[in-house]
Homo-oligomer: A and B are copies of this chain.
Amino acid sequence: MPKETFFILDDEKQEKVMRAAINEFSAHGFEKANIGLIAKNAAVAKGSIYQYFENKKELFLFSVKWSTDYLMKKYDIYSSYKNATTDVFDYLYSSSKDAWLQMREERELVIFIQDVFLGKYKNLTDESVSVMLKYANEYIIGLIRDGKKKGHIRQDIDDRMLSLFVTGASTKIKEYLMIKAREAGDDIVDGDFEVYDKDIKAMIELLKNGMGAK
C-alpha cells in the first residue's frame, strides 16, 4: 500500500500519478518500466514517487488495485451484478456489456488489467490474481447452483465442468468484443455495441442449449 503522503495528494494528482504508472507498465512491462518517466509524465519529481511508494513493486501492485477499484467504482460493478443478474445467462450478457463500455471509455486501464489477468506480470501478481479469479469463479459457481436448483440448468454435469464451460465462452466473447473495440480505436461509440448484440445473444443461445435443462 502507498504511504500516507500519497493519499494527501488531491485526487486529480493521485489519478495523474497512477495513470502515468499504468501507462508505463503497460508499454514496457514491469522490469523496463522507468520510474523517471512515470514521474515526468505525472509532472512530479522522481524522488516524490518514493515518498508515495516504498518502491517500484509497491507502485505496480497499487496500480493493479487502483485500476480495479477505479473501474469497480466507475461502473458500480458490485451493485449492478448483485442486483440485476438473476441467472448465469443474464450475468454473461451484462458483464459483456460492461466489458464493452469499459473498453470504450477506459481502454488504457482495461488493457492493463487484462494483461495482469492474462499473466503478463505473472511473477508479480500470481497470488493476488489467483485470489481474484477464485472470487469471480465462486460467483459463477453460485449462479450455476442456483440455476440447477431452479431447474434452468441440467443436473447431470458437475458444477466445475459447467463453470469451465461458461467462463470459457464468456472469456471468448469478451475477447471478441475487446478485439473489435481495439480495432475501432478511439472511434468506438455507444451504439457500436448493438452491432455485436446479436453475436452475444448467439453465444448465449449456444450456452443455453449446451447446459440448459431439457
Residues of A within 8 A of B (CB): 28-32, 115, 118-123, 157-158, 160-162, 164-165, 167-173, 175-176, 199, 202-203, 205-211
Contacts and interface: CB of A to CB of B under 8 A. Distances in A.
Contacts of A207: 165, 210
Contacts of A210: 206-211
Contacts of A164: 169, 172-173, 175-176, 203
A122 B28 CA distance: 10
Nearest to A33: B31
A89 B209 CA distance: 16
A125 to B, nearest CB: 11
9 contacts: A115-B122, A120-B122, A161-B202, A161-B203, A161-B206, A165-B206, A168-B170, A168-B171, A209-B211
Of A157, A175, A199, A208, which is in contact with the most chain B CB atoms at under 10 Å from its CB?
A: A157
A157 B169 CA distance: 15
Nearest to A163: B172
Contact of A119 (B120, B161, B199, B206): B120
Given A172-B167, A209-B211, A211-B209, A123 B28 contact: yes
A171 B171 contact: yes
A189 B105 CA distance: 49
Contacts of A162: 206
Contacts of A205: 157
Contacts of A171: 168, 171-172
A132 to B, nearest CB: 16
Given A29-B123, A157-B202, A168-B169, 17 more contacts: A29-B30, A115-B119, A115-B122, A118-B118, A118-B119, A118-B120, A120-B122, A161-B206, A164-B176, A165-B172, A168-B171, A171-B171, A207-B210, A208-B210, A209-B209, A209-B210, A210-B211
